[in-house]
Structure 1
Amino acid sequence: MINPKEEGFYFPAEWHKHEATWLSFPKNTDTWEDRFEKIYPSYFKLIKTISESEQVRINAHDFDLIKLIEEKLDLYSIDRTKVELFAHPTNDSWCRDHGPAFLLNKNDSRQLIVDWEYNAWGGKYPPYNNDNAIPAAISKALGIPSVKAGIVMEGGSVEFNGVGTVMTSKSCLLNKNRNPQLKQQEIEKYLCDFYGVDQVLWIEDGIVGDDTDGHIDDTVRFVNNNTVLTMIEKDRLDANYNILNENLEILKKMKLLNGESLNIVEIQMPDAVYDQGERLPASYANFCMTNANVIVPTYRSKYDDEALNKIQMCFPERKVVGIDSTDIIWGLGSFHCLSQQQPTNKLA
């Protein structure tokens, strides 16, 4: 088995130019029940916005679902030439976590897929065998070689600055429902070897309602090499107040590889979103980037505009597009969770 880092491979930051963005089309009634028609307007707006500047590649469970998607693409006036459909069986729609990690090479035009193991966030939602097979299916479809890391890892649990640093959360990666045989130092070695990084930075926990045990893409996101956007909660009575304040204090003490401290942009959490008494993991941090846009979930909250404006300031070269995620967040994830970028090789 090759060591990707030793071979010159690395996982680029999300703002690196994309060839495409991958999605896994929603079909799981355990996740979405009867809400598909409610989520379609926002989901297809996501597809349409991505397609403005890059290809959209969609894992579709079967040919019946492909037919439905094609009908909806026409209904929502989406250019079909910008959307590629792949008959790849899936269990659920969270492509960030079960999709492949696309690596580029620093020295040549080679690309590599890391095929991490996937166990539906600690075995919470079986079956997940189809989702675990998605990286291999995409590797075969694209003709990009893949390497198996042999441990459980989810794309939403890691955040990259593209120049040697990955950030993650202890509550997720050190959880015994993922890789109980590994200590923190061993997990760090896997991250460095298979993502091609030199530094692992740790925050503590994730937000209330997050069933992933604290994915970082709901709390802290790199917006450039040395700047992070972090969610905060000003209401001391809110359940997220202490969690996010502790993370903020940790971020203030962090040093990057060059010895510099992080630039930190603080964004207030949206008003709490509930469904049938359950707190949902609504966060503005769960945005995804495309070549032209930053797609930000909104929640019909009084804080939506403030969040969009702050995120726009972080991305002067891209247009921030807010899409209502109030129905999508009922599935316990939003646009970053649903998507996985495929970077363009810088030498290609």
Structure 2
Amino acid sequence: MTTHHHPGAPTGASPGTPAAQGFAMPAEFAPHDACWMLWPQRPDTWRYGAKPAQQAFVEVATAIAESETVFVGVNDDQYENARVQLPEPVRVVELSSNDAWMRDVGPTFLTHPDGRLAMVDWEFNAWGGLDGGLYFPWDKDRRIRAKIAEMLGVTRFTVPVMLEGGAIHVDGEGTLITTEECLLNPNRNPDLTQADMERVLRDTLGVTTVVWLPRGCYRDETDGHVDNLCCFVAPGEVALSWCDDPHDPQYAISREALAVLEAAVDARGRRLKVHKLLQPGPLHIAEDEANGIDRLRHSHPRRPGDRMAASYVNFYIGNAVVVMPLLDPARDEAARQTLQALFPTRRVIGVPAREILLGGGNIHCITQQQPRP
């Protein structure tokens, strides 16, 4: 695979960094060896003891397992339940977590032109720590990357910067997209300027161009993760969550992002082609949905009537499938057709995903691809 690597290390990478050693983060649409997930069970995130969410996670894992090996990490007390519910080809491993957002607590994998795999172990504070974070403690989540590095026997680069996997997307050819709202949020890295953060991204992920979108989706409790708003579907092409209702706060956010994307030039000198995915809904938490969760002091409140940050951009690109969330019967099919046209060589599978959304994220947020080196 030479398509997603720059020849040699990018110029200007700081000595000793992953980029200086020739490592880079491949695009999600490049080939994978596996997909990593975690098992939901947290009663203050998932209603009714997480049983409805577990069913949704099983459907996501089943769909992805058609195209690549799926590992699901489980706390010991849920191991047997998960093993019974998940299909036989899925590999269930004991891997304790505080919650099930593998995109954010799992490794950011890097590959090297010589065929080596490595990973980045970022800092993690549950999306903001005690200033807007979603739960406390997050000690088990913090150990997940080190444990996966042990399991795979790969180099782990420790980077003392607060960053979740959902906050970044790359094209594998030197370009990264992110949001200012998340990466420059004072509850993540208050001492880093935008230029500092760009240097971290270049040194760690082997990118040369960073496209900064102002903010993520409306009411996104991750402080605006880019993976809910915009993602690369091919080099030079992105999908953007769209809204046509001028009275919806998402309307301005999507247009603001479009203006930045249309003005951007990627690492290869291309203008970006933007594909719009009309958002579902708007969707709100129903009363019975809010009533099924435990209310704990350190947990993010989920109240009846709260708007959810629903987006069709939060899909997973597998080797042979694209797994997308089904969220709104009026919009699901149009989104599926758009994605099928964007990924003609993959089968687009829709999975009912409202239960995942109720927990605060979606299909991309609960998955993490392990690239084929």
Q: Distance in 1 between matches of 2:372 and 2:268?
A: 27
Task: Show the counterpart of 1:66.
Answer: 79
In the TM superposition, residue 343 of structure 1 has moved relative to its aligned partner by 0.7
For 1:11, the aligned partner's letter is M
* Counterpart pick for 1:310 among 338, 343, 348: 338
Task: Show the counterpart of 1:114.
Answer: 120
In the TM superposition, residue 35 of structure 1 has moved relative to its aligned partner by 5.3
Q: Distance in 2 between matches of 1:118 and 1:2?
A: 23
Q: Deviations over 1:172-215 (max 9, x none)?
A: 00000001111110100110111111111100101122101100
For 1:68, the aligned partner's letter is N
* Counterpart pick for 1:277 among 290, 305, 324: 305
Q: Distance in 2 between matches of 1:72 and 1:309?
A: 30
Q: CA contact under 8 A between 2:41 and 2:49: conserved in structure 1? A: no
Task: Give the 5 Å matches for 1:170-249.
Answer: 170-249=180-259
* Structure 1 counterpart SS, 2:127: helix
* Structure 2 counterpart SS, 1:10: coil
Q: CA contact under 8 A between 2:216 and 2:223: conserved in structure 1? A: yes
| Structure 2 stretches lacking a partner, 5+ long | 1-14, 286-303
* Structure 2 counterpart SS, 1:66: helix
In the TM superposition, residue 86 of structure 1 has moved relative to its aligned partner by 2.1
Task: Show the counterpart of 1:48.
Answer: 62
Q: Deviations over 1:245-266 (max 9, x none)?
A: 1111111111112322101111
Query: Is 1:100 aligned to 2:107, yes or no?
Result: yes
* Structure 2 counterpart SS, 1:191: helix
Q: CA contact under 8 A between 2:180 and 2:214: conserved in structure 1? A: yes
* Structure 2 counterpart SS, 1:119: coil
Q: Deviations over 1:21-64 (max 9, x none)?
A: 000111111111315222233221111111112111111112x3
In the TM superposition, residue 2 of structure 1 has moved relative to its aligned partner by 3.4
* Structure 1 counterpart SS, 2:345: coil
Q: CA contact under 8 A between 1:2 and 1:147: conserved in structure 2? A: no
Task: Show the counterpart of 1:9.
Answer: 23
* Structure 1 counterpart SS, 2:223: coil
Q: Deviations over 1:203-260 (max 9, x none)?
A: 0101122101100011111000000011111011112111111111111111112322
Q: Distance in 1 between matches of 2:43 and 2:32?
A: 31
* Counterpart pick for 2:53 among 24, 39, 64: 39
For 1:288, the aligned partner's letter is Y
* Structure 2 counterpart SS, 1:85: strand
RMSD: 1.2
Q: Deviations over 1:98-153 (max 9, x none)?
A: 100111002x1211111001111111121111101110010011111101011111
Query: Is 1:132 aligned to 2:145, yes or no?
Result: no
Q: Distance in 1 between matches of 2:52 and 2:227?
A: 24
Task: Show the counterpart of 2:322.
Answer: 294
For 2:160, the aligned partner's letter is G
Q: Distance in 2 between matches of 1:23 and 1:237?
A: 37
TM-score normalised by structure 2 residue count: 0.88
* Structure 2 counterpart SS, 1:41: helix
More strand by share: 1
Task: Show the counterpart of 2:163.
Answer: 153
| Structure 1 stretches lacking a partner, 5+ long | none
For 1:223, the aligned partner's letter is V
Q: CA contact under 8 A between 1:159 and 1:222: conserved in structure 2? A: yes
TM-score normalised by structure 1 residue count: 0.95
For 2:128, the aligned partner's letter is G
Q: CA contact under 8 A between 1:271 and 1:301: conserved in structure 2? A: no
Q: CA contact under 8 A between 2:39 and 2:57: conserved in structure 1? A: no
Q: Distance in 1 between matches of 2:342 and 2:49?
A: 33
Q: Distance in 2 between matches of 1:265 and 1:23?
A: 28
Moved more, 186-195 or 25-34: 25-34
Q: Distance in 2 between matches of 1:29 and 1:166?
A: 35
Q: Distance in 1 between matches of 2:177 and 2:202?
A: 11
Q: Distance in 2 between matches of 1:282 and 1:35?
A: 23
Q: CA contact under 8 A between 1:160 and 1:222: conserved in structure 2? A: yes
Q: CA contact under 8 A between 2:31 and 2:319: conserved in structure 1? A: yes
For 1:70, the aligned partner's letter is R
